């Protein structure tokens, strides 16, 4: 399998680095004139995938918004993953799973085993049961050519009470996690497959983000950050940033052309902010 980091670098270089979230929460369904039911979910997801999967580098479904509809919602998610990947987008499943032992191995199999109906190009995970607890996901991702995005410094203000705390060796806890990620990516070229989640709303991140891997940057758009903020947050690692926007694009639906135009505007803003991209 071609490693995820290699495939992501190629997608970013050819399509631009933008990631668009697929977040079918009730208020967005209502804004689209859709009911908050399985039919609304199906229509929202189908329009979004058809409009964007052939042009953006990454689509990021938020698993919870599908799971809330039970098995029928998960079936919609399975179809979205399949169709998005067939159209050329990399699918990053935003599931933020984190556990230990056999449970973590089961979560890993759900998203990172090619035999799974939810097999994705990458998945988000939480390391705050200890970075070593992620080993089943890291190992399976390496075997299947997938990626793992590890929470480091998130955009929600509550995250600081954990992520900015001091580890036993004196490092900020987020830096400890980033250093683990860097070790996982040692020797990878052009880009490692273990990425970090770092909020674009943070201002100066205050940590070393040079992990030789991708940096998913949520918070663009509705949360207040703009592409112009990215160099200030990510510094010399900015070329590896995957800016993520959800509502800023999705609010333009259900018109497919309007969704495409919104995504294109954000992509152009990213290119202007990061000239090397």
What are 13-29's pLDDT values in tens digits? 999 999 999 999 999 99
Asked if 143 is an active-site residue, the reply is: no
pLDDT at 276: 63
Question: In sequence order, what DSSP letters do the residues of 56-82 get, joined into one string?
Answer: -SEEEEBHHHHHTTTHHHHHHHHHHHH
Of residues 60, 96, 143, 182, which has the active-site annotation?
A: 96
| DSSP annotation of 36 | S
Whether the per-residue pLDDT at 79 is higher than 70: the answer is yes
Cβ neighbours around 209 below 10 Å, total:
25
What are 237-277's pLDDT values in tens digits? 999 999 999 999 999 999 999 999 999 999 999 999 986 64
Cβ neighbors of 79 (< 8 A, separation 6 or more) are 45
Kindly calculate the radius of gyration of the chain based on its CA atoms and give it in whole angstroms.
18
Q: Are strands 19-22 and 147-153 parallel, antiparallel or unpaired?
A: unpaired
pLDDT at 277: 46
pLDDT at 107: 98
- Which of the four pLDDT bands, split at 50, 70 and 90, describes residue 157? confident
Cβ neighbours around 44 below 10 Å, total:
24
What are 222-238's pLDDT values in tens digits? 778 899 999 999 999 99
């Amino acid at each position: 399998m071609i490693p995820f980091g290699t495939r992501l670098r190629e997608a970013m270089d050819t399509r631009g680095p933008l990631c668009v979230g697929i977040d079918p929460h009730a208020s967005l369904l209502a804004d689209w004139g859709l009911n908050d039911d399985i039919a609304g979910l199906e229509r929202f997801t189908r329009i979004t995938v058809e409009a964007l999967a052939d042009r953006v580098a990454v689509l990021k479904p938020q698993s919870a918004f599908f799971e809330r509809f039970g098995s029928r919602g998960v079936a919609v998610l399975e179809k979205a993953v399949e169709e998005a990947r067939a159209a050329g987008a990399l699918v990053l499943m935003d599931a933020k799973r984190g556990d230990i032992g056999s449970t973590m191995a089961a979560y890993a199999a759900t998203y990172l085993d090619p035999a799974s109906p939810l097999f994705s190009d990458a998945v988000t995970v939480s390391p705050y049961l200890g970075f070593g607890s992620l080993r089943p996901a890291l190992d399976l991702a390496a075997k299947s050519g997938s990626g793992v995005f590890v929470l480091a410094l998130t955009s929600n203000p509550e995250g600081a009470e954990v992520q900015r705390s001091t580890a036993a060796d004196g490092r900020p806890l987020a830096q400890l996690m980033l250093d683990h990620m860097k070790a996982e990516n040692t020797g990878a070229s052009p880009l490692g497959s273990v990425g970090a989640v770092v909020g674009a709303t943070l201002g100066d991140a205050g940590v070393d983000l040079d992990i030789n891997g991708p940096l998913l940057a949520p918070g663009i758009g509705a949360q207040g950050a703009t592409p112009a903020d990215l160099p200030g947050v990510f510094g010399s690692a900015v070329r590896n940033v995957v800016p993520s926007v959800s509502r800023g694009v999705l609010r333009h639906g259900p018109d497919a052309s309007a969704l495409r135009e919104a995504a294109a505007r954000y992509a152009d803003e990213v290119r202007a902010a990061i000239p090397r991209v």
